[in-house]
Amino acid sequence: MTPKTAIRAEAETLFAAIAATGAQPVEADLLLPAETLLDLYGEDIRARAYVTHDPVRGEMMLRPDFTVPVVQAHMEHGAEPARYCYMGEVFRQQYHLGPRQSEYVQVGYEVFDGSDPLAADAEVFALFMGLLAPLGLRAATGDIGILRAAVQGLTTTDRRKAALLRHLWRPRRFRALLDRFGGRVPVPAPRQALLDRLTRGEDVLEGLVQTGLRTPAEIRDRLTALQEDAAAPPIAAAELQLLEAVLSVRDKSPAALARLQAMAGDHPALQPAVARLALRLARLADRGVDVESLDFEASYGRTTMEYYDGFVFGFYAETDPELPPVASGGRYDALTRMLGQGRSIPAVGGVIRPGLVARLKGVL
> Is residue 156 left, alpha or beta, with left meaning phi > 0 and alpha meaning psi from -120 to 50?
beta
Give 295-332 pLDDT, tens digit per residue: 999 999 887 778 899 999 999 999 888 888 999 999 99
The domains located in the chain, with CATH, are: 1-117+327-364 (3.30.930.10), 158-235 (no CATH)
Pick the more confident residue, 148 or 102: 148
Give 49-97 pLDDT, tens digit per residue: 888 888 888 888 899 889 989 999 999 887 789 999 999 999 988 766 5
134: buried, middle or exposed (CB in 10 Å: 19+, 13-18, 0-12)? exposed
Does the pTM surpass 0.85? The reply is yes
Cβ-proximal residues to 35 (8 Å cutoff; 6+ apart), any chain: 58, 59
Band (209; pLDDT cuts 50, 70, 90): low
Tell me the three state secondary structure of residue 314.
strand
What is the per-residue pLDDT for 208? Answer: 59
pLDDT at 99 over 60: no
Tell me the three state secondary structure of residue 307.
coil
Give 304-314 pLDDT, tens digit per residue: 778 899 999 99
pLDDT at 207 over 70: no
Cβ-proximal residues to 197 (8 Å cutoff; 6+ apart), any chain: 204
Least confident segment among 42-56, 107-121, 157-171, 265-279: 42-56
User: CB count, 10 Å around CB of 268?
Assistant: 10
Q: Which residues pair with 32 in a beta bridge?
A: 61
